Amino acid sequence: MTDDANPAALRGEQRTGLARQMLEEARGGIPEGTSQGITPSARVGDAPGGPMRLFVAIGPPAAVLDDLDALAGPLRSGRQDLRWTSREAWHVTLAFLGQVDQTAAARLLPRLERAARRHYAFRLAFTGAGAFPAPTRANVLWCGLSGDRLALAHLAESVAAGASRAGARPPDRGRRFQPHLTLARCRMPADVTELVAALAGYQGRAWTADRIHLVRSRLGATEQPRYATLASWPLRSANPGGPGPGE
């Protein structure tokens, strides 16, 4: 069998291409047209060959984010003391990896690919709200998730385990996984009790989580980080032991 017909060889070539893309991005920006899911920022580059600040995430569909944005919009004007996150950067983090060097990043790619292949697509929905560490002294205001949270937790664990084996162990591994979407951050601990109450009854439309993204985050002079999607991997498309993933 030739390499052209060998799926393992093709995957190896794809991983090599992704590794080259990541190195090129670190030297001067991710090429146009390569981003999927989370909106990329233009020309996010550090020193050549330097470490990258990475995380792995799920990117919800645009229509789902539009619904949540419409709800959160009126709340922003009343609380300008908070640093509201931009709708373009909204995501559900599976594992924050921190600073990852080029060697570990290259090893990370096949680990994340294998993690994605082990899990079926599943259904989620945004619902309610909360705050870390508490609504009366919040550092983060977030929207919660309902749906197949067990499948989400298992996927997050696989991603974290794969990252650890690649040499990119998540700095917060060992903490209880609490899936959420960050709506706002607080410069100083703030009371967001009214905001949590205003969002408490929210129940968004259901959507299918069907792929994971490796994302680079760059902290610049502005308060908002800039994100660029480096690679994406689909989850398995249907679960033969249960209902399909739906729309």
CA distance 225 to 63: 23
Which alpha helices (H) appear in 93-219, and where do they start and end? Answer: 102-117, 149-165, 193-199
Using the 8-state DSSP alphabet, how is residue 87 labeled? G
**Active-site residue flag, 180:** yes
Q: Report whether the peptide linkage leading into residue 60 is cis, meaning its omega lies within 30 degrees of zero.
A: no
Cβ neighbours of 218 (radius 10 Å): 15
CA distance 235 to 212: 7
- Comparing C-alpha atoms, which of 58, 89, 61, 96 is closest to residue 175? 96
Beta carbons of 218 and 44 less than 8 angstroms apart: yes
- State the catalytic residue, choosing from 91, 119, 154, 213: 91
**Active-site residue flag, 91:** yes
Catalogue the active-site residues.
91, 180
